[in-house]
Every structure is written in structure tokens, then in C-alpha cells.
Amino acid sequence: MTAISRVGVVGCGVMGAGFAEVCVRSGVDVLVAVSGPDALVRGRDRVTRSLAGAVRKGRITEAERDAALARLSFTVGLLDLADRELVLEAVPEHEPTKLEVFSALDKIVEDREAILASITSSIPIVRLARATDRAGYVVGLHLFNPAPVLPLVELTGSLLTHESTCARAASFATDVLHKEVIRSTDRSGFVVNALLIPYLMSAVRMVESGFASASDIDKGMTRGCAHPTGPLALVDLIGVDTVVAVGKSLYEEFKEQLYAPPPLLVRMLEAGLLGRKSGRGFYDYR
């Protein structure tokens, strides 16, 4: 099994930057493709600040930080990803956008056995695979935020994915990135979000109905159930936009009300109250 040494990342938001950082810290050459010069500056700054934080906390040395940054480069557009052996799509959780990216990557990435992966948390992998002529090499690699810290990767192959592709992706995640891998069948939400989203939506409904405040709900789960983060603070961390998108995807597939985003969450999305990324969600971060 050929080792993967050249990785591409499409998008450098929170999850794209996190995956890029994990890779460069593991000795992998990473090229990040972004949409324009402003996104390039934001993406580079995001990774640089995270690595600086890792140095402050004693997780890596300054020399390791410098070596990681030397393995990281950026480009505007997708064409420079032609020589990559694995490309991870990490654009927002919007199916038409992801389909467009996969269709483009199929034409650009020269190695026909290169792995095309998605960080999606809810969209069935087969839909993305069908946007390409190499469905056997498309997988889901869902990391969790913050990716440099949390040890889990959710690996999903579709009905069309070669088992050898899944094996190679799993080997990369465990042997190179030093992550733990769990496998899921190709259904919306996979394992973690199929369990997590109903819990988050239930907490939002409690706030919406006036049953309890966000802070009391979160305190109940952190102090009473030993959860590291309360559900409303977790919605803010993940992003209201992402939670709504995942909930809608799950509801579309299963038609079960427990997955449906409550009106309060939809109104927050429409108001731009997205959580930490916007400065305000269930809590104020400004």
C-alpha cells in the first residue's frame, strides 16, 4: 500500500484548517486551495494561530511549529491540486457546492487512484461520488472540532467505494495522522451526528419553550452528567449554520421530527447569530 505524502485541502475554514494542521504536524506536504486572496490570508492566519497556541500549551516545540509551517502552502483555485494523492473537500455543508468541487477535482487530480474525500458531517457519500467518474475512490473522512486535539475520524465508504480505498484511507488516518477510526455505513449523519443532533435539537427546544435557560441547561449537562461542554455551547462551537444543515439533511433522509431544526435555530441562522464564528449565538463572544 503506497504511503500518502501529498495532500490537498479544499477550503480553509475551521475544519479545513484543522485537517491541514494535523497533516503538516504529521510530516505530510499540504497544499490548501482557497477561493481568493482574502480567504488565503484568513486560512494561513487560522493555522498559524493554532500552531502558536500549541506551542504555548507545550504540545509542540517552536522547531516543530516551524517545520509544520514549512510543509504548508496555499493556492487560489483548484488547478494546483493536480499532483495530490489525497484531496479533502472542506467547504461549507452545502450539497450543490460540494458536488461542484468533486466534479472539478475529478477532472483536475491526475492520479486516477487518488482518494477524493469529504469532511461532510451529513451528506451521503454516494451523492458526492456520483459527481465523479471515480466513485470507487471517494470516501467520507469526518474529523471533529478541534481537529488537532480530538482523536476521532469517522470513515465512510459508499456502496460504490472500493474496500481498498477505505483501507488506504484508514491507514492514513491511523498510521500517519495518529487518529482513531470508526467506520459507518453511508447514511446521513453517519454515527456521531445521528446521535448528537437529536440531543442538540432537544436542548434548543428547551430554550425555545422557556423550559430552562441556555446556561442552566449547559450547567446541568456539564455539572450533572460530566459532559465537557453543554449542548448550547456546543451548538455555538459547531456553528448554528452547520447544525441546521446537518439537521435538515437528517430530517430529509429519515423524516423523524427529532432531527428537524426548531424555529428558534432557523431564526438565529437567518439573523446571522451563528455562534462563536459570528461572535454571538446562544452566548455572546464579542
Does the active-site annotation cover 154?
Answer: yes
Contacts (Cβ under 8 Å, ≥6 apart) of 45 = none
Segment holding 242, helix H or strand E:
helix 240-254
Looking at 93, 154, 188, 249, which residue is catalytic? Answer: 154
What percent of the chain has pLDDT above 90?
A: 96
Looking at 21, 93, 118, 142, which residue is catalytic? Answer: 142
Q: Is the confidence at residue 259, as pLDDT, over 90?
A: yes
Does the active-site annotation cover 178?
Answer: no
Q: Do the strands 138-143 and 29-34 form a parallel or antiparallel pair, or are they unpaired?
A: unpaired
- The per-residue pLDDT for 53 is 95
State mean pLDDT over 152-162: 97
Separation CA 174–CA 10 (nearest Å): 22
DSSP state of 174: I
DSSP bridge partners of 275: 280
Domain range list for the chain? 6-184, 193-276
- The per-residue pLDDT for 3 is 84
Q: Is the confidence at residue 1, as pLDDT, over 70?
A: no
Is the domain 193-276 a CATH 1.20.1250.20 member? no
CATH architecture of the domain 6-184 equals 3-Layer(aba) Sandwich (3.40)
State mean pLDDT over 203-215: 97
For 79, 246, 249, the CA distances from 252, given in Å and listed in that order, are: 34, 10, 5
What pTM did the predictor assign? 0.90
**What digits encode the pLDDT tens for the residues 81-106?**
999 999 999 999 899 999 999 999 99
Q: Is the confidence at residue 2, as pLDDT, over 80?
A: no
Which parts are annotated binding residues?
Answer: 50, 57, 121
- The per-residue pLDDT for 121 is 87
Between the two ends of the chain, the Cα-to-Cα distance in Å is: 49
- The per-residue pLDDT for 145 is 85
Looking at 21, 89, 93, 121, which residue is catalytic? Answer: 121
